[in-house]
Chains A and B, each alone.
Chain A
Amino acid sequence: MNDWTRAETTVVASAREQPAGTPPVAVETAHAAGEPLLSVENVSLSFGGVKALSDVSFDIRKGEIRAIIGPNGAGKTSMLNVINGFYHPQEGTITFRGARRQQMRPYIAASQGISRTFQNVALFKGMTTLDNIMVGRTLKMRRGLIMQGLRLAPFVAEEVRHREAVERIIDFLEIEHIRKTQVARLPYGLQKRVELGRALAMEPDLLLLDEPMAGMNLEEKEDMSRFILSANAQLGMTIALIEHDMGVVMDLSDRVVVLDYGRKIADGTPDEVKRDQRVIDAYLGVSH
Chain B
Amino acid sequence: MSLLGPFIEVLIGGLLAGVLYSLVALGFVLIFKASGVFNFAQGAMVLVAGLALVRSLDFLAARGAPVWAAIALGLVFAALVMAVCAFAIEKWVLRPLLNQDGLTLFMATIGATFVLEGLAQMVFGSDVYPLRLFPTDVWIVLDGVFPGGILINKLDVWGGLIAGALVGGLAIFFQKTKTGRALRAVADDHAAAQSVGIPISWIWFVVWLVAGLVALVAATVWGTKLGVQFSITFLALKALPVLIIGGFTSVPGAIVGGLIVGAGEKIAEIYLGSHIGGGIEYWFAYVLALAVLLVRPQGLFGEKIIERI
Residues of A within 8 A of B (CB): 47, 81, 86, 118, 120, 122
Minimum Cβ distance to chain A for residue B219 (Å): 41
Minimum Cβ distance to chain A for residue B132 (Å): 52
Closest to A122 in B: B309
- Rounded to whole angstroms, the CA-CA distance of A81 and B306 in the bound complex is 13
Q: Which residues of the other chain, A, contact B306 by a CB distance below 8 angstroms?
A: 47
- Rounded to whole angstroms, the CA-CA distance of A74 and B113 in the bound complex is 47
Minimum Cβ distance to chain B for residue A60 (Å): 21
Residues of B within 8 A of A (CB): 306, 309
Q: Which residues of the other chain, B, contact A81 by a CB distance below 8 angstroms?
A: 309
Q: Which residues of the other chain, B, contact A86 by a CB distance below 8 angstroms?
A: 309
- Rounded to whole angstroms, the CA-CA distance of A120 and B306 in the bound complex is 17
Q: Which residues of the other chain, B, contact A120 by a CB distance below 8 angstroms?
A: 309
- Rounded to whole angstroms, the CA-CA distance of A81 and B307 in the bound complex is 11
6 contacts across the A-B interface (CB closer than 8 A): A47-B306, A81-B309, A86-B309, A118-B309, A120-B309, A122-B309
Closest to A116 in B: B309
- Rounded to whole angstroms, the CA-CA distance of A239 and B159 in the bound complex is 64
Closest to B307 in A: A86
- Rounded to whole angstroms, the CA-CA distance of A242 and B199 in the bound complex is 38
| A-B pairs, 3 with minimum CB distance | A118-B309, A47-B306, A122-B309
Q: Which residues of the other chain, B, contact A47 by a CB distance below 8 angstroms?
A: 306
- Rounded to whole angstroms, the CA-CA distance of A118 and B309 in the bound complex is 7
Minimum Cβ distance to chain B for residue A153 (Å): 39
Minimum Cβ distance to chain B for residue A164 (Å): 31
- Rounded to whole angstroms, the CA-CA distance of A173 and B6 in the bound complex is 75
Minimum Cβ distance to chain A for residue B33 (Å): 21
Closest to A118 in B: B309
Minimum Cβ distance to chain B for residue A105 (Å): 16
Minimum Cβ distance to chain A for residue B267 (Å): 36
Q: Which residues of the other chain, A, contact B309 by a CB distance below 8 angstroms?
A: 81, 86, 118, 120, 122
Q: Which residues of the other chain, B, contact A122 by a CB distance below 8 angstroms?
A: 309
- Rounded to whole angstroms, the CA-CA distance of A81 and B308 in the bound complex is 9
Closest to B304 in A: A48
Minimum Cβ distance to chain B for residue A195 (Å): 13
- Rounded to whole angstroms, the CA-CA distance of A118 and B306 in the bound complex is 17
